[in-house]
Amino acid sequence: MREHETVPYSLEKLDDSESIKRAEALRDRLRTRRTCRYFSDESVPREVIEAAIEAAGTAPNGANHQPWHFAVVASPEKKRSIREAAEAEERRFYGEDGENPKASDEWLGALKDLGTDADKPFLETAPYLIVVFAQRKGGIEEDGKTQNYYVNESVGIACGMLIACLHEAGLATLTHTPSPMGFLREACERPDWEKPLMIVVVGRPTPDATVPAHALKKKPLSQISSWL
C-alpha cells in the first residue's frame, strides 16, 4: 500500500450463531418493505428524515467524494409544482395527453401488473419528497469542477440505505422516477453539474393502502445467487 494516514478499525466480535441470527432478523424486517403508492398527509418527525439522510451519507462511494445531495421538499406549494410537472411528463409517458405514448408497448405491458398511471397524488399528500441528486462533479468540496467517480453506483447504494433506514423507522417509501426529470434541478435550486436521480416519497400509508400482488413475487435465493 502507498503511504497514507490511517486510523484503527475493528468490529464487535460476534459468534456465528449471533451473526446468523442478526442477518436473518434484518432480512425478515426488510422483507416487509413494500413500495407504497398511497400516502396519508400525517406528519412524520423531521429527525427521522435527518437520521435517514445521515445513514445514506455513510454509503460506500467513489474516492469518498460522497457525490450526493438530498433535497427535502416539505412545502405544500413546492410539492404541488413538482406534482404538476411530474404528471405532465407522465401523461406523455403513458400517452394520456392524446399523443402516442413515449413508453414502448413492451414497457407499458411490463407495468400492467403494477396498475400505475399518470396520476401522482402522493407527490402532494406525502409529508416529504426527498429529491436525490447525483453530483457528476464536485469532489468533497463540492466545487463543481473536481471529477467524481462511480456516481450512479454510489448514489444508488446511498438510496438503498436511505430507504432501509426509513423502513426501519416505520415509514413507507416510494422510489419515483418521472422521466425526464430535469425539471427537479430547477425546482430544488440545484447546480447544473447535479443530475436528479429519483424522488423518494416518504410518509405513512393510508389506512386502506394496498400494494400490487405482483410485488410479493420475489425470486428465490437459488435464482438470485450462484456459489463458485
Which parts of this chain interact with ligand IYR (CB under 6 A)? Answer: 90, 93, 111, 114, 116, 176-179
Other Cβ atoms less than 10 A from the Cβ of 121: the count is 12
Closest approach of Cβ 201 to ligand IYR, in Å?
Answer: 10
3-state secondary structure of 86: helix
Closer residue to ligand IYR in complex, CB, 40/116: 116
What sections of 169-212 are H helices per DSSP?
Answer: 183-187
- How far the first Cα of the chain sits from its last, in Å, is 29
Q: Are 155 and 197 in contact (CB under 8 A)?
A: yes
CA 35 to chain centre: 10
Closest approach of Cβ 24 to ligand IYR, in Å?
Answer: 28
- Closest-approach residue to ligand IYR (CB): 116
Closest approach of Cβ 174 to ligand IYR, in Å?
Answer: 9
Closer residue to ligand IYR in complex, CB, 38/93: 93
Residue written as grid cell 447525483? 134
Closer residue to ligand IYR in complex, CB, 25/215: 215
Closer residue to ligand IYR in complex, CB, 30/215: 215
Closer residue to ligand IYR in complex, CB, 55/184: 184
Closest approach of Cβ 2 to ligand IYR, in Å?
Answer: 43
3-state secondary structure of 207: coil
Closer residue to ligand IYR in complex, CB, 91/137: 91
Closest approach of Cβ 128 to ligand IYR, in Å?
Answer: 18
Helix (H) or strand (E) holding 99, with range, is: none
Cell of 43: 406528519
Closest approach of Cβ 116 to ligand IYR, in Å?
Answer: 4
| Best CA proximity match to 201, nearest among 172, 178, 168, 224 | 172
Residue 104 φ then ψ, to 5°: -70, 160
